[in-house]
Amino acid sequence: MFDTAFLDIPALTGAGGTVHLPGSKSISNRVLLLAALSEGRTTVHDLLASDDTAVMLAALRQLGCAVEENGSTAVIDGLGGRAVQAQATLYLGNAGTAMRPLTAALALLGGDFELSGVPRMHERPIGDLVDALRQLGCAIDYLGHEGFPPLRIRTGQLALDAPIRVRGDVSSQFLTALLLALPLVASRDINIEVVGELISRPYVEITLSLLARFGITVQRPLGTDNWQRFTIPAGSHYRSPGTIHVEGDASSASYFIALGAIAAGDKGQNGIEILGVGADSIQGDIRFIEAARQMGAHIDASANGLNIRRGAWPLKAIDLDCNHIPDAAMTLAVMALYADGPSTLRNIASWRVKETDRIAAMACELRKLGASVEEGADYLRITPPGQVAAAAQGRPKQGTAPFSRERGSVPPKAREATSVGAWKTAPIHTYDDHRVAMCFSLAAFNPARLPVRILDPRCVGKTFPDYFETLFSVVQTEPALVPVICIDGPTASGKGTVAAVVAKRLGYHFLDSGAMYRITALAATQAGLAIAPAQEAAIAALARQLPVRFLDGRIFLGDQDVTDTIRTEEAGMNASRVSALPSVRLALVDLQHGFRQLPGLVADGRDMGTVIFPDAALKIFLMASARQRAERRYKQLISKGISATIAGIQQDLEARDARDMSRQAAPLKPADDARLLDNSELSIEESVAHVLQLWQGTRPF
């Protein structure tokens, strides 16, 4: 996961490959609670590892549930319908799939519990669920504002004779919470009546399907097409299925379905393949594929997989009731940027009470990119950049959502690829909302070839911690569009340390070029090759394929940590011998070019800006004096118990500088367009701050 303040995504040009989806958040937290309420042991496979599941697991442990985790598998020893701990203070983050069901379950079990979360959770309504539970005699108090968490739950006096009425037009999670918890007290038939139209019905279908897996058959007296009345039969009892698999997250699949629809595929690649969710999914958001097809995507679906290729281009504008895909519909809003006219997403009022007010958030961020957005109480109308003037001819009156695509369509002559000049770039505020961050990553395919900055990318940890890594594994761009920062300088100038910290702050890859010859020499020795001209061709071939990684201050050759091994005196001598072989030097140039990968690279050395990456967006040359460098090196040596003198070290450094500056191949010197930074009196942190400030000056944000 990118744990940085922001993530700059370069302009992207294509995509192709295979995506393995993480487990569904909605299924994961429902299964965890049902397993905890059941008797017996449940083994859950392919469980989502995310912020939301983490807080649910922590809560279950606090309540006395035994949980064992091993990778994506969790083993839950059920509580058999009772909480071992009758008193607990539970922190549930921003996980509605934990807060709402646990509120219902603990209120019915009774005890003394406090439930709280992040500030945004305390803004998300829960009053309709609390009102429904109070009808049963549950004792629940608000500890803050009326109708919102945090809550205190005490033991109440339950009365189950009358139907329970709950609103369905704010959040389906209220109904889901009741359905999951009421079997705890089903000594008689318990009826639930939904007041108003039930939104997000597909999530209720997930709940009903999973309840059936755990032995609870919810009856629908008015028929399976009626969503107003549900009955928990008397004697209902949770039974563990023993083993259950969590299917891939269909909401998360929407980003890669959209990716396949937007991005041109490379030759030899068959679009985007998604594994883990398919036509047999129990998740309502799988119907996102219907919307994507309407916009022109070619999609082939198997039972547990999808293949997506770009079809119509530009995408076709749509006018769609999105009640059946409330979360995935956010992805359609970004796809609409690439459409041939205005698109309208309707019946999305539930967005207002999610992790943020998603209608307002999406409208704000889409406008930043150049789109025209009309925001209604329960709809968005998005006109792509470059089509604003053309679309204005058919715009409906303010406050009315169009129900016909023709009504607001772009005139035929204007139905063309989005105008390059109309696109804008901007920092995308994510509102601590994972879906906002993931949606807007797709804006990097804009025809203006502008990068996109995602603020607080770590928020994707709520459901898909490795989202950006997964995205970068299947997208492509031209090498020149991948930004590079070069930090060159003489020996002991601090370039390696500064470069490593800069790379970490930006979420970029790191290249320590000074280690490359040492690693090559080590690999040659391990392969039984003599470091001599006779083996030059073999060593060069080896160098081109070296599996080198720089990770958290360590250097790896394949899976072997060679950080300390390549720092010995012998390793240094072998590196000098290797560097004298011309074919090896050329091979290492190719290898270093291979480090230029998404989302960007920070490279340190002596010739990064002059030879290896002459087109780098920013070149820094550190100018620390020989005296200052000698004092730093002296402190390092003394700390390791190595005897030395500052004068002796300074003399050695000056001699090394003279050799490096006078060598024929890639002499040590600043690139003509390098920014000179005298870091003699600067700390590492101060040097890093200077580099980041210079870098920001090169960005379009």
State the catalytic residue, choosing from 77, 128, 327, 488.
327
Alpha-carbon Rg for the chain, nearest whole angstrom, is 30
Under a CB-based contact definition with an 8 Å cutoff, are residues 399 and 376 in contact? yes
131-145 burial by CB neighbour count: b if 16+ within 10 A, else e?
bbbeebebebeeeee
- Render 620-646 in DSSP notation, one character per residue: EEE---HHHHHHHHHHHHHHTT----H
Which residue type is seen at 88?
Answer: A
Helices (H) and strands (E) in the chain, counts: 21, 32
Angle between helices 96-109 and 127-135 in degrees, nearest 10? 20
- 3-state per-residue secondary structure call for 211-258: HHHCCCCCECCCCCCCCCEEEECCCCCCECCCEEECCECHHHHHHHHH
Residue 324 backbone dihedrals phi, psi, to 5 degrees: -85, -10
Alpha helices in 122-215 (DSSP H): 127-135, 172-181, 201-213
Under a CB-based contact definition with an 8 Å cutoff, are residues 252 and 464 in contact? yes
Closest to 206 (Cα-Cα) out of 281, 259, 260: 281
327 assigned to active site: yes
Under a CB-based contact definition with an 8 Å cutoff, are residues 439 and 431 in contact? no
Q: Rounded CA gap, 334 and 250, in Å?
A: 17
Q: Is 528 exposed, middle or buried (0-12, 13-18, 19+ CB in 10 A)?
A: exposed
Q: Which helix (H) or strand (E) holds 315?
A: none
Under a CB-based contact definition with an 8 Å cutoff, are residues 600 and 485 in contact? yes
Catalytic residues: 327
